[in-house]
Chain A
Amino acid sequence: MELKNNEYIKILLLIFLPIALFFISFMIGRFPISPIDVVKTILSPIFPDLAVSPTITTIMFQVRLPRIIAAILIGASLAIAGAAFQGIFKNPLVSSDLLGVSNGAGFGASLAILINGADIIIQLFSFIFGIISVSITYIISKAYKTGGILVLVLSGVAISTFFNSLISGAKFIADPDDKLPEIVYWLMGSIANVNMSQIVMIIIPLFIGFIILYFLRWRINLLAMGDEEAQSLGIKPSRIRLLVIIGGTLLTSAAVSISGIIGWIGLIIPHISRMIVGPDNKILLPTSLSLGASFLLLIDNISRALIPIEIPIGILISIIGVPLFLYLLRKGYSEWS
């Protein structure tokens, strides 16, 4: 398809932005590393002569690299899932945790913490419970004959609330000296202690989720027209919606299982992306992916660099994200008119 000049520039910027932030992120932290040392160290596994010092190698590859990868994967996942969900629910106000995935994952993690589970058990529980809660939501919505999107959204709200009460219950019985703070910290969301083995565990669900959404992205446009119109255009809306829910849920639960609950990205990044490239999901989904990854990298850098104590990333996202969102709303935004 033909592209205009400014569209080429946008696409180049959207590719360049996360790559640039990827390199910059190695430099920032309690131990600053110069750009030249970053480039040299990155190349050192191939050209061992370039290695600057063992300390820098350790900091970059052992400490910062897992965080950087986690930020990219989590930001991209939450944003693309949010964009896809807004499309299939015909609503710019929904985000990827609409169907209860976050609270389900939160309960899974709390449960694992209560039974003294190791990190890997916490991750596994939160991933599985995220998927369980969305499955319950979907099955309940199918049980009603009238079906439709509204029933699905409302059962999502109900199941979300249900798992939220279970989280409160878990907090209530948790030992206030060690278990309770651990649960609360998990719920705040953080990628400070992410390690490579955790990332490796989520690669497969993320890959499946990305593939599903990437290939269905143009079809999501049709669902935004309403089910009957979509059907008259030859597609089966319920099938596309189910596939997108599966893809989005895999992405969100996998992301949340290593980071804890991170809100807002799934709501605001698709919005910002839509302001830049318009509502066509064929372009919107890749744009959300790029901006989601960039945004979380940026926030994570700020959380490391701003003050000596590390701020949980979930808190920082809201503090930065809300004013940013309100500012963008003010700058002429015609979507709801």
Chain B
Amino acid sequence: MVIKECVLMKRLLDVKNISFTYDNKRKIFENISFNLEKGDVLCILGPNGTGKTTLIKCLNGLHNINSGEILLENRNINSLNFREISKYIGYIPQNHTPTFPFSVMDVVLMGRAPYINITDHPKDKDVKITKNALKDLGIYSLKDKEYTALSGGERQLVFLARILAQQPDILILDEPTAHLDFGNQIKFLEIINKLASKGLSIIMSSHFPDHAFISSNKVAIMKNGTFIDFGLPNTVITEENLKKAYNIDVKLIKLTENRKISVPMKTNLTLNIEIEKK
């Protein structure tokens, strides 16, 4: 009986020893392995330029890995086309350059693209799903506004609604809190928690160790193109690991059983800056 259950339970995402390079000379990342199950929230921490964004783009098929395997429910990502991948994985990039002032409704409707034939456009059913996504996130009242005129926090919710309309199993978010204010960051993380409790799996990158304690059950610390540690927030986010990752001293302060905050110590910067008089 136990064995049967194990066979039935498919791993949602299985990443096996992957690496990537643009030019065959320098590896952007290598030797990365992890897996994701239903309801998992994985937070990837790491300094600037360590390959987090490139890893994220490989995970949703925007770049092709050079070695290793990415399995989505035991199917190799290379054997799937964009449309098939987009039914598994939704993605919010780190930056978005707006051009035309689409209405919020139009933007969220785009999430239905994987289910709409190339020569077709959204139907009543798609509109209904879109409206529900907007209602779920509490932004239904914005539906006729131009998305270019929204605040950073509202716009991020619009993109999240678009992903919900896309109905994927995994959400991949590249620094989703980077452009949000202090309060909106925590609100966004709570929404992530709620989505995970509904059975969605989430991978996000972040610059804040604190965020990992708030929203995730798995943490990876990435440095020089590989994971230096991976596991539960409490075991991975340690003063030693943070020092290894960011090259600064960090103090962790316990708030509650499952929540710590990290405080970077001053580094006694030795730069000698001289500002010349005009």
Contacts and interface: CB of A to CB of B under 8 A. Distances in A.
Asked if A pairs with B, the answer is: yes
Interface of A: 1-2, 87, 90-92, 215-219, 221-222, 224-226, 228-229, 231-236, 240, 274, 278-280, 282, 334-335, 337
20 contacts: A1-B124, A1-B127, A2-B127, A90-B100, A215-B118, A215-B119, A216-B119, A218-B116, A225-B107, A226-B96, A229-B96, A232-B62, A232-B91, A232-B93, A233-B166, A274-B100, A279-B106, A280-B106, A334-B146, A335-B100
Contacts of A282: 121
Given A216-B119, A218-B120, A232-B91, A92 B85 contact: no
A269 to B, nearest CB: 16
A278 B89 CA distance: 30
Given A90-B99, A234-B83, 8 more contacts: A1-B124, A221-B102, A224-B102, A232-B93, A233-B111, A235-B83, A278-B101, A334-B149
Given A218-B120, A222-B110, A235-B113, A280 B97 contact: no
Interface in B96-134: 96-97, 99-103, 106-107, 110-111, 113-114, 116, 118-124, 127
Given A232-B60, A233-B166, A225 B110 contact: yes
B246 interface: no
A278 B61 CA distance: 32
A234 B96 contact: no
A232 B89 contact: yes
Interface string B27-67: 00000000000000000000000000000010011100000
Interface of B: 57, 60-62, 82-87, 89-91, 93, 96-97, 99-103, 106-107, 110-111, 113-114, 116, 118-124, 127, 146, 148-149, 166
Contacts of A216: 118-119
A278 B121 CA distance: 17
A234 B99 contact: no
Contact of A233 (B114, B120, B122, B146): B114
- Secondary structure class of chain B's binding surface, majority of residues: mixed
Given A222-B113, A224-B100, A279-B100, A229 B119 contact: no
A200 to B, nearest CB: 27
A308 to B, nearest CB: 44
List the 5 closest pairs (A to B, CB-CB), nearest first: A234-B86, A234-B114, A218-B121, A279-B100, A215-B119
B113 A92 contact: no
Contacts of A274: 100
Contacts of A335: 100-101
B114 A279 contact: no
Given A1-B124, A232-B91, A221 B106 contact: yes
A232 B100 contact: no
Of the candidates A92, A221, A231, A232, the one having the most CB atoms from chain B within 10 angstroms of its own CB is: A232
Contacts of A236: 82
Contacts of B90: 232
A228 B62 CA distance: 7
A230 to B, nearest CB: 8
A282 B127 CA distance: 14
Contact of A234 (B62, B102, B113, B148): B113
Nearest to B63: A228
A62 B206 CA distance: 71
A92 B102 CA distance: 13
B192 to A, nearest CB: 18
A3 B233 CA distance: 50
Contacts of B127: 1-2
A160 to B, nearest CB: 23
A329 to B, nearest CB: 15
A224 B90 CA distance: 18
A22 B180 CA distance: 54
A219 B116 CA distance: 10
A279 B98 CA distance: 12
Of the candidates B100, B120, B166, the one having the most CB atoms from chain A within 10 angstroms of its own CB is: B100
B118 to A, nearest CB: 6
A303 B119 CA distance: 39
A335 B99 CA distance: 8
Contacts of B113: 219, 222, 233-235
B99 A334 contact: no
Contact of A92 (B61, B100, B166): B100
A225 B110 CA distance: 10
B103 A280 contact: yes
B87 to A, nearest CB: 7
Given A90-B99, A225-B110, A217 B121 contact: yes
Contacts of A278: 101-103, 106
Contacts of A225: 96, 107, 110
B166 to A, nearest CB: 7
B118 A226 contact: no
A106 to B, nearest CB: 30
Nearest to A219: B118
Nearest to B166: A233
Contacts of A91: 99
B1 to A, nearest CB: 39
B205 to A, nearest CB: 15
Nearest to A279: B100
